[in-house]
Structure 1
């Protein structure tokens, strides 16, 4: 249950806070290109932000039509372009060139290689943040991405940023609920004015003192910046050892021929209770048929612990996506669970 106050807090403490130093030049004078479905909390919040700051709104009729998105960027040069990582992965290959726009990525972690490629081509900073439908949706923003423009910070720093104003974050041990030290992974829990009142109809989903358990694993560094390592449900268990799928993804993305990758865990038919790490890769068109599984595995061996290295690498052009543009891990898990089961 999201209230009007939750939405208002999200506006004031979200992009309204991040871009406040630019407000005089933006309010009533700039445009935002909404490439996110409006039924998604991210897209919904962007409409509110546009109204809040009197921005001209350009809406992508089909968020999956990347060619149309690219053409619209070239023609209209919108000031603010919020996106999701899977869109940026595809936009990058069009080589748009320099545009005077601020890109923003949310909904899922942005691979470092994709961020670097977009910045190299367009020369634009890419802001990142973190949030959920239950947080209306913004919970953190990275003020360093636009530091050269806003003056918030002296240099850029990777990560999902810091909690937006009046928002409390904790990282807790999933077993004990106790806070974990800096740099150690635990579940992220959030409390703040933008956090929902609960799930309908029982107002459930929050602790007695207002903390929302996100189901996301992450950590905080000693400068207060937060990082998400995985969803609890996506973490892979290899003989009792934890493998974070996003960590494996980040390594595989370093291969120049990889456009998309999704790492999943599927039950190991030879070890009850354990899982195998499976990487499903889509290559760039120009690398089709030119990248081998051994290349991917050897790259992972250089950067990852032995138990984190994928046991299986599969190349697949047609990766299932959700209606919000995220890679559909659940469907892939079911598909490869069945394949491995037949091989056992």
Structure 2
């Protein structure tokens, strides 16, 4: 026998999750916080109207847009206001997904506890965090795949209840593999074994991952850690090269064309490998104290300069490709 409530055009939370793209756990959390309450409850079952599901879809669109919307920002907005925000979003010319590459530092927040802890009112002009509804590490990896540039500076990631150094290593390797080798990770553990936490602290730092104890953590402490990381990075970074969209970099890496006898694919590959070395050098400089830092600083500066020059080469290739009549690219197979 069918559920009588479904015959009243009400949908269960599982169906609402499937239709809207919002995880069941997220909908339950919103309900508990009074941010999105179901129309009916029967025991532990939650039921939503079709109109509520449509609102969920719009909320998910806005939160996933990366502009910085959170459910806390949107829950008090009317349906018409939400619809207008979505319309405005679709009318906006396509921009780099989620993270900009301006001089304003950015940090992506990953994990529902961190999102609940987040208090943007405490953030200063030099620090801007965004929380695009990324609740777990797999969603974070999906988020990185959607980025169309390689300029993510920092991510604050909530660790699972059980984790170890192997988990940290795999997370670091995965982020590197997704073209974000220069992204520093602040990993927050809310459930700690004090001895393990202390033992892993230094080893994680060598991987470009800062461990932060989540016990009695407040948002100001998170901001202080972000500020500390950004200051150390600023001390060692040369002016940033223009970020090349990752999808375009992948296309150039597969190119069979040459420019002046030089394979375009080789230039693109060299650019990415230099980016990886830059990320490793910056992490090495940050994580290991040296009495004389001048040589290491000089090395990282030179690497950043090379990276910027390679980015300029790729920009030139992109410009030439737009004007084939002014300069013909050689199609010779490599």
After TM superposition, the score normalised by the length of structure 2 is 0.30
Larger gyration radius, structure 1 or structure 2: 2
The structure where strand makes up a greater share of residues is: 1
The structure where helix makes up a greater share of residues is: 2
After TM superposition, the score normalised by the length of structure 1 is 0.29
